[in-house]
A = this chain, B = another copy of it.
Amino acid sequence: MRRLLVTIRYDGSAYHGYQVQSNAVTVQEVFQNALEKVFNKRLDVKGCSRTDSGVHANMYCISFDTDMNIPNESVVLALNTYLPDDIAAYDCKEVSLDFHPRYSCKSKEYVYKIYNGKYRNPFYAKYALWYRWSLDAEYLNKEAQVFVGKYDYSGFCSIKSDVEDSVREIYSCKVWREDDFVYFKVCGDGFLYNMVRIMVGTLLFVNEGKIKSGELKDIILSKDRRRAGKTAPPQGLYLNKVNYYAK
């Protein structure tokens, strides 16, 4: 028995997130269908994270067990012939049998992409948030640094969530501009439901002066969802990197 860890990229536009749901097409289901064609058997898979409807992934890790001895490189190539255009594998390696893509994870990195052009851009409708007003990336980068640290982030969590422990450690974050795009990158030990999207919505409130300079830390400490900003839309969000403990 071998445990394989496959890394994929996906354009989440057409999917209701990663995790299988009874009445909607998800990445997991489509991946399992392709995997079944490669291994001639329906395999159980474990993913590294839930992702929301419309959210993308530059790096998403999935593990499964098999007795077959297909070379790792061939698993990638075979999967790609069966996966649709909007999902593609780019790595496959063997991991130890106690490896779990979610629980063996050391940190995760998300990127949120904002298109800051004056007019709607058709090439980014599904790949960035369009924000037409002036956006001060340097100022936001300075204010955003209070996210770094270990906090009870329950004020930055969708009220639909029922997670018990809402303490998360953020290792780093950065806001920067590249031409008409502004990016928010954040790395942490884990993220609550909608947490990155609420961080972005809150930074937009900071940008608009609805949250004053220096006020963000109080808002985190208040654990009050109503004091944070709106949940930014899904299409700007990318799961960018998953870091594992040595396997």
A148 at the binding interface (Cβ < 8 Å): no
User: Contact at A9–B86, with CB atoms within 8 Å?
Assistant: no
Which residues does chain B contribute within 8 Å of A9, judged by CB atoms?
121-123
Residues of A in contact, count (CB < 8 Å): 21
Contact present for A122 and B88 (CB under 8 Å): yes
**Minimal beta-carbon separation of A169 from chain B (angstroms):** 30
A170 contacts partner chain B, Cβ-Cβ < 8 Å: no
> Contact string, A52-68, partner B, CB cutoff 8 A, digits 1/0?
00001000000000000
Flag A95-129 by CB within 8 Å of B: 1 or 0 each.
Answer: 00000000000000000000000111111011100
Contacting residues, chain B, for A90 (C-beta < 8 A): 118-119
Residue A162 at the chain B interface, CB threshold 8 Å: no
Q: Does A11 contact B (CB under 8 A)?
A: yes
For the complex formed, measure the closest distance between the CB of A241 and the CB atoms of chain B, giving whole angstroms. 16
Q: Are A10 and B85 in contact (CB under 8 A)?
A: no
Enumerate chain B residues within 8 angstroms of A89, measured Cβ to Cβ.
119
Distance between Cα atoms of A123 and B56 in the complex (Å): 9
Complex Cα spacing A120 to B85, Å: 8
A76 at interface, CB cutoff 8 A: yes
Pick from B11, B80, B120: contact of A123, CB under 8 Å: B11
Q: Are A125 and B80 in contact (CB under 8 A)?
A: no
CB distance A120 to B80 under 8 Å? yes
Residues of B within 8 A of A45 (CB): none
Contacts of A127 in B (CB 8 A): 123
A148 to chain B, nearest CB (A): 29
Can you spell out 25 A-B residue pairs with CB atoms less than 8 angstroms apart?
Answer: A9-B121, A9-B122, A9-B123, A10-B122, A11-B122, A11-B123, A11-B125, A56-B123, A76-B119, A80-B119, A85-B120, A85-B122, A85-B125, A85-B126, A86-B122, A86-B125, A87-B122, A88-B119, A88-B120, A88-B121, A88-B122, A89-B119, A90-B118, A90-B119, A123-B127
